[in-house]
A and B are shown apart, each in its own frame.
Chain A
Amino acid sequence: MGFTVRQIARRADGGEIIRTRAFDGAELSVGRGSDCDIQLADLGLMLRHARLRLAGDGRVAVEAMGGVPLEIAGAFVTRADLDPGDNPTIMLAAHRLTLARGEDGGVLVTAERVLAAGDGSDAASEAQVFTLKKTLPSKRRLAWGLVVLILGLGLALPLWVMAGRQTVLPPALVTAAARNAAPVATPASGWQPDRVWSSGPLSTAHAGLANSCGACHAKPFEATTDTACIACHTPAAIPAHAPAARLARGQVPATGLVADVHKAFNLPEGRCASCHKEHEGPDGALQVAENFCTDCHRGLAARLPDTRLANVPDWGGHPAFKPTLVVQPSLTAPRFERVALAGARETSGLVYPHQLHLSTRNSVANMVRAQGLPGKNGLLACNYCHVPDSDGERFQPISMEKNCAACHDLAFARDGGVVRTLPHGKPEQAAGIIRDFYLGQALSPRAGVAAADRRLPGSEARLRTLAFTSPAQARAQADAAIAGIFGKGGTCAECHAITDTGGANLLTRFAISPVTLADHYLPKGRFPHKRHLSYDGRTGDAACISCHSGVPRSNLASDVLLPPLSQCATCHGGPQLATAAPATCATCHGYHYGESGHGGDALRVRLVVARRGE
């Protein structure tokens, strides 16, 4: 009877050392203290931790001595009554006591350390302490996590969306484009994952497609086709483009490495997108670089033999001006022709000597001074007739009433204190008015009625009193007056070419040649006059005459007073020259303004200056 204690210690090699002692007493003390029956070197224990006592019926009463509860069968208790037959265990800090029935009917107590005293010197522990292996997720795990995340969101998800989607074209955008109207900038609703593939913001016109990649990128690995463009931009709504086939033929074909690369990467040339690059920001799709112009216009005749356009390799090789001149003036259907500037004559139908109007000494100068018209020393200012239009680029149309009538007043008689004038532009009416005026004076004479004979503007009026003895005399004088006004040296002939048909009816006998004044001599280009108001230190009329140098000496309205191209080149050098003023194609030209001339195109292509050595 009594306790038998087996204390198990572990050797470094894993083997066990078992010490067995027998105790006769009915009590057994357990603790760290050296006076205990079972001494356990465990700082987690009290010096005297617990007591085991044999109860009468072979059971063991366990009691905590140091006030620290004991862990028995998972519960913390201060005392317990245990049956050794059940092999109960008592946890004491890092040690475990197991009770069992002994062979002699006593109680066998096995004590062993179950939580190893860590000495922390093994290799695993070293890695844990001195490296980040256990502190952070492994690099491999982090790498895989990021790879899966990025490939998932950046590739797999967009691919999945792309594969399962039909071509999306916002209907509003299609309608707007077909009408050549302002673009619809509202993107389709929702957020499409393939937007993460966008290489940059779309142009303003295409902003509405930002969420509809499939509208242009119809098939994977296939460069955007013209079909996608034409879906909205019907050929009728694309201004100033030659037919696609001609555009393609006009281009210098890619050769060598470039051609091979294009072929290898399935990038056919001559598509809309070959020139119109998208995803280049708000101005993108319509921005075309300068060399796109010369790509076609250099040696164009060799590729498009039937073209009427001159070859333009660069600014230095720019052909001379071919102004559009009036060759047949007409009130309804004037005819224009483009002719070479050198030796060109224009047939506007007008008689107008610039030289006469730009004098400081003649009757015109007198008139300018007397009427206070703009000018210096009686020299009529250019802008009295050539009034800049609203954008300062060109000039308002010249009209007889606005620009001529101050001097050329069309007076034919004095009636009391009233100067009687003829209507301009209505020769039949004018003839009728003179005839009726004379006959009226014959029928019912009034005092102070006189005919104002033709005189040079600015000279003194020559009055001839009108008094008739008979209507026939009045009629004869009226006919003479009409013939005088319309005839050679008359008021009308000052400015107009007049044909005497010799017809019996005086109202229709004199035919006045129609006048057509060209409003745009170089309609394929634009020349903003307001940006050239000073030239070479000169301003005002002196600046005008710097370029239009023929004006002060011009005696005929048929003189073409445009400056030659070389005049432009005095300031505007080619992009390869280091002059102050630019001379790229876009300095003067838009993209093919079309037959209707400039201003009619909503989708005007903006050209940008390519950075070449700038």
Chain B
Amino acid sequence: MAVRAKAMGRAVARAPRDTAHEGFLGHRRGRWLKVSAALSLTAILAYALIDQTPRPNGGTALGYALGTLGAGLIVWLSLIGLRKRIITTGPYSLKGWTSAHVWLGLSLIVIATLHSGFQLGLNVHGLAYVLMMFVILSGLWGIYVYARLPALLSANRNEMTQPQMLAAIAALDRQLDTAAQPLGRDEADLVRMSIEGCDIGGSLWARLTGRYPGCGNSRAEAAVAALVDGQRRTGTADPRLVQILFLLERKGAALAQARRHVALKTRLELWLYVHVPATFALLAALVAHILSVFLYW
């Protein structure tokens, strides 16, 4: 009874933010959107109103100020990799941190561009800028996939877990293996093609496009279907082959679901393979950018 009362008590005292879903973009009614907009606007106003001599770029007083701000932001933004590995309670929630990460990251477009004074060259400074824009754009891509794909993933999943998907395919493989034991070599080879020559994931290209042209299962299915059709035209089909065709078709459906899952997971994951290494490349370029300025002061 006591346990139940405690549980009820917790349900009543639920944190306000859990009562309705509020995504990381609109966290706290867009607090970080406002901060980011204010920061960008301040930078634009300063750029427009402050006399920069001989011309606006990273070498003026405002340029150094914007550069310091931008470098600080970049370092802080990259710290989300550490922050997300630390589970905390308290006011600085990971959601709030992510919200700030996204919005402050976008304000960096304004701050760094004004810092550059719209001057770009083929040098470490230009490299840092290009990498930064690349990181930000890949982050936008990440926001898009995080906003759009989980729903598709959930719809495709159909209440199945990933191990269940694999187990379903493995079970079908075992059934195919058993069912094919009495068959002759040629027919058994077709079944082997399905069991052994069938990638669920495969190369990055296959994962992204969802196209598996050499898929053993579909080839086996087509060949066995042709055999069964031939037998049916001349008489009755071998019931063992009919059973195998049925299993191959079921495996085809299970594969399709798993591969759709793979395709969505790949898209959900791939942007981070760009975003994270590019971030580290950016940090390296930033070090070279800042150090070189002072080395050749």
Within 8 A of A (CB), among B148-195: 162-163, 166-167, 169-170, 173-174, 177-178, 180-182, 184-185, 188-189, 191-192, 195
Contacts of A196 in B (CB 8 A): 123-124, 127, 292
**Contact: B166 with A199, CB < 8 Å?**
no
**Contact: B51 with A611, CB < 8 Å?**
yes
Kindly state whether residue A277 has any CB partner on chain B within 8 Å: yes
Contacts of A213 in B (CB 8 A): 296
In the complex, which of the residues B57, B265, B276, B291 has the most CB atoms of chain A within 10 Å of its own CB atom?
B291
CB distance from B128 to the nearest CB of A (A): 9
Contacts of A121 in B (CB 8 A): 163, 166-167, 170
**Contact: A146 with B281, CB < 8 Å?**
yes
- A 144-156 to B, binary, CB cutoff 8 A, 1 in contact else 0: 1111011100110
CB distance from A287 to the nearest CB of B (A): 5
Bound form: Cα–Cα A299–B256 in Å: 82
From B26-34, B98-106, B196-204, B223-231, the one touching the partner chain is: B196-204
Within 8 A of A (CB), among B216-270: 258, 261-262, 265-266, 269-270
Bound form: Cα–Cα A196–B124 in Å: 6
From A217-225, A318-326, A354-362, the one touching the partner chain is: A217-225
- A 403-424 to B, binary, CB cutoff 8 A, 1 in contact else 0: 0000000000000000000000
Q: Is the interface of A mostly helix, strand, loop or mixed?
A: loop
CB distance from A578 to the nearest CB of B (A): 16
Bound form: Cα–Cα A288–B265 in Å: 57
Contacts of B10 in A (CB 8 A): none
**Contact: B297 with A224, CB < 8 Å?**
yes
Contacts of A221 in B (CB 8 A): 294-295, 297
Bound form: Cα–Cα A381–B270 in Å: 82
Partner of B162, one of A68, A126, A149, A258: A126
Contacts of B173 in A (CB 8 A): 119-120
Partner of A199, one of B61, B125, B170, B188: B125
**Contact: B293 with A199, CB < 8 Å?**
yes
- B 95-123 to A, binary, CB cutoff 8 A, 1 in contact else 0: 00000000000000000000000010101
Within 8 A of B (CB), among A132-150: 132, 135-136, 139, 142-147, 149-150
Contacts of B121 in A (CB 8 A): 198-201
Name the residue of chain A whose CB is nearest to the CB of B258: A129
Bound form: Cα–Cα A34–B182 in Å: 8
Kindly state whether residue B140 has any CB partner on chain A within 8 Å: no
Within 8 A of A (CB), among B279-294: 279-281, 283-285, 287-288, 291-294
Name the residue of chain B whose CB is nearest to the CB of A132: B269
**Contact: A289 with B58, CB < 8 Å?**
no
Number of A-B contacts defined by CB within 8 Å? 186
Q: A43-B180, A121-B167, A154-B285 are in contact. Are A199 and B58 (CB under 8 A)?
A: yes
Bound form: Cα–Cα A170–B36 in Å: 49
Name the residue of chain A whose CB is nearest to the CB of B184: A47
Kindly state whether residue A195 has any CB partner on chain B within 8 Å: yes
Contacts of A198 in B (CB 8 A): 121, 123
**Contact: A610 with B170, CB < 8 Å?**
no
Kindly state whether residue B23 has any CB partner on chain A within 8 Å: no
**Contact: A277 with B54, CB < 8 Å?**
yes
Kindly state whether residue B143 has any CB partner on chain A within 8 Å: no
CB distance from B201 to the nearest CB of A (A): 4
Contacts of A291 in B (CB 8 A): 51, 53
Bound form: Cα–Cα A197–B68 in Å: 18
Name the residue of chain A whose CB is nearest to the CB of B276: A139
Contacts A123-B163, A611-B55 known; list 13 others, CB within 8 Å.
A33-B182, A47-B184, A68-B185, A125-B166, A135-B201, A146-B277, A196-B123, A197-B292, A222-B297, A280-B55, A292-B53, A610-B51, A611-B56
Could you list which residues of chain B lie within 8 angstroms of chain A, going by C-beta atoms?
A: 49, 51-59, 61, 64, 119, 121, 123-125, 127, 162-163, 166-167, 169-170, 173-174, 177-178, 180-182, 184-185, 188-189, 191-192, 195, 200-201, 203-204, 207, 258, 261-262, 265-266, 269-270, 272-273, 276-281, 283-285, 287-288, 291-297
Between A and B, 7 residue pairs with Cβ closer than 8 Å are A41-B181, A43-B181, A118-B170, A128-B201, A142-B277, A200-B121, A277-B54
